[in-house]
Structure 1
């Protein structure tokens, strides 16, 4: 366990240096960027070590991994983010532990989240996932709504009991006009964010960038970066 703690501490320090350097490059304060560690297939013991090392935001993308892990870590001072594509039949479970759902991309999901948030007596922060590989009215290959669908979805969230419009999220696209152009995609996300905040002042989160492109996200202005592999290592193959 000591070796694992040392490994995580070293990896966190390296990621911290990357974030700090990217902030310095564009004149941002380091405290403007929040690191979210995506623990995915890694065990609750790693989450505990990360919490000891000062991590306060963790993320999961599969409910079957997340639910038992969150239940085992209820004593820790953590904010839990759900970042994966979310099916409505998993919403009740996710609402039980997630503080923020970063992958909201359709009104049917908004309705389901609202119903379960009210039932649980909770308020959920919702990030609208923007897909830069999606045409108008379509969803992206990895989830997300086309950019022109953001305003209507934000209105649906704002009008839904138990939900709060918290901001935007994106994953760098593998296809379309922004493929291979992470910085341009993230800069476009910031433009959409500015427009969204004009109508929804609480929408101040911009979640973008992962292990391979966190610098581009920080340079564009992202408030949160989601890092898994660079902190935890290469993930075990899923069965």
Structure 2
């Protein structure tokens, strides 16, 4: 385990992971005393070999693990500036997921129209006013750089979009509830290079308004899109620093071995 809270970020802290442990089924100790700050309106990348815990950590932020019985958290994730522990039993996981949205590895549009895909979270929140929905849906689609491509076909099925468009639609759906943090779980792994480049450019734009955490197997992608990088191994956070430092002058030999392709 590496202490990281002494690192001074360039921006205020949006979330702080404090001595976080996570257990699958109450038995498998998947995360071990994770400490990590997340800078406001910055991109933080989680890297490491398969099975190291990066997706497990990502899914703690929006309580996805609550969907399966027997999973258990210990420690906290504090959402700032409110100081709310996202893992507290007193905090509603549904509300957490409105404030912290997630974009998954493969595009997963609902079997609905483009319009209703983006409207989904707003309707869950009880919004039914057409004018408000229209405004927020357009804003979200513009935020996902998709509005100009779909504005004349909002009632078409989302499945009629290309793979890259579907992923941007999922990003628009994530943005519609105006979240404070957006989680990306390998968002380009199922996309071609052109669509991948489009999503990476979008991430660079989105960080002007929202905080981003991204899990990626591509070290090149982490280097391109992130401000800070966390290297994880066997459930532990080995090193957390500015991305340029992680890739050019890491403090730990295991980090150096991983980023130089000696294992993984």
Q: Which has the higher strand share?
A: 2
Provide TM-score, normalisation by structure 2: 0.37
Structure number with higher relative contact order (C-alpha < 8 Å, ≥ 6 residues apart)? 2
- Which of the two has higher C-alpha Rg? 2
Q: What TM-score, normalized by structure 1, do the two folds share?
A: 0.40
Higher helix share: 1
